[in-house]
Amino acid sequence: MENNSNTSEKWRHWITCQLCVDIVVWLCAAVPVLILFLFITPYDRGFFCDDVTLSYPYKPDTVSASHLVLGGFSISVAVVVVVEILRSVDCNRKKSAQVRDNISYCIKGYGVFLVGFVIEQFVVQVFKKQMGVLRPNFFDVCKPDFNRSFCPGYITNYTCSGDVKEIQDSRQSFPSGHASFSMYVAVFYCIYIQNRLEIKFSVILKFFLQAGLICLSAVCGFTRITDHFHHPTDVAAGFLLGVTIAIFVYNMIGKKVLKTDSCDNSAYMQNLLLMAKSRDYYYSEAQTPLSQTPLPLLKNDFLNMGFEKTPTTPLLPLNSPFNVRRPVSMPIEPLKLLEEV
């Protein structure tokens, strides 16, 4: 009992240490994302004064950044809750140990999701700050003041007369952060549903859950085009980035951390029967008495050759030394055998 308690205590210490290290690593990766978002200014890019793609009017957000983050995390929690409820109903599991395992699985799954979220935001912020692509509403937000005599040419010397924060934001069009984050959430939890949810009472429920996530992400991305905040290529790049990071994170980390046990009761009962049979066989072999009479020895056709004439006895030459009649107990010396040959 003491050895078991010591082992379990060491295991708990190891899990706690591993969790602390992972949290520290996650914070170290999240701090650069926060610095990029708050303190780094985007690249100051020029423009063509007759560029029609930058002359769209400014419109307020249909889905603001705060609403996007709040909605994305709320949807992720709702998906996990719905999946676990449907799984528990279908599997009919009510034991406390199984409930603890389900809660542990959900926590680990959300941890993997947060790792991918940090990676997605880091890539998005690096592209936004380094490329400085102008939004479609740049002229309306910036209201640039420049020498009109250089038109139609590329203008680099200009000053903006609008709000400073809005001007900086108008230089961060590529890629679309809304499209990237929404598609990352959708694809990540589509894979989560595919691997976690096993139900027998419906064939299309899983599909409609996954399709609903993709449709919400697509609507969120398309509103960025209609609101004149992104070019279509920005939204397409954001979608592609979200899909890539979701698949990459789930394959690299999720497969190692998130291992789902099957809730098939028939398979579970078959495993129990196989374990019971193997146990009974082991005990029957271990309890066999040593004084038990062994099985009769098989007949040695090689040594009895010449004494028994059976149809199965192979025909040998008459001068073969194997046809010489000898008692069974008499050994055949190798040298004499060679001399006779």
For residues 91 and 273, what is the distance between their CA atoms, to the nearest angstrom? 20
Average pLDDT, the chain: 79
Q: Which band of pLDDT confidence, cut at 50, 70 and 90, is reported for residue 170?
A: very high
Q: Tokens 């859950």 belong to which residue?
A: 209
In 3D space, the residue among 42, 39, 34, 66 whose CA is nearest the CA of residue 138 turns out to be 42
| Structure tokens given for 273 | 């029967």
**Beta strands in 36-150, from DSSP E residues, in sequence order:** 47-48
pLDDT at 328 over 60: no
- The DSSP 8-state label assigned to residue 252 in this structure reads I
**Residue 99's pLDDT is what?**
74
Encoded amino acid at 126, one letter: V
What is the reported pTM? 0.74
**Residue 331's pLDDT is what?**
52
Q: Count CB atoms within 10 A of the CB of residue 264.
A: 13
Q: Which residue has the higher pLDDT, 231 or 329?
A: 231
Task: Flag the least confident range among 66-70, 104-108, 150-154, 267-271.
Answer: 267-271
Q: Which residue has the higher pLDDT, 260 or 236?
A: 236
Sorted by where each begins, the domain ranges of the chain are 40-262
| Count of positions (residues) in the chain | 341
pLDDT tens per residue, range 100-116:
777 888 888 899 999 99
| Structure tokens given for 126 | 């690096």
For residues 139 and 223, what is the distance between their CA atoms, to the nearest angstrom? 20
For residues 179 and 322, what is the distance between their CA atoms, to the nearest angstrom? 89
**Beta strands in the chain, from DSSP E residues, in sequence order:** 47-48, 154-155
How close are the terminal C-alpha atoms of the chain, in Å?
71
For residues 236 and 240, what is the distance between their CA atoms, to the nearest angstrom? 6
pLDDT tens per residue, range 277-326:
555 554 555 554 444 544 554 555 544 555 444 444 455 455 555 555 55
Classify residue 57 as exposed, middle or buried by CB count within 10 Å of its CB (0-12, 13-18, 19+).
exposed
Catalytic residues: 178, 230
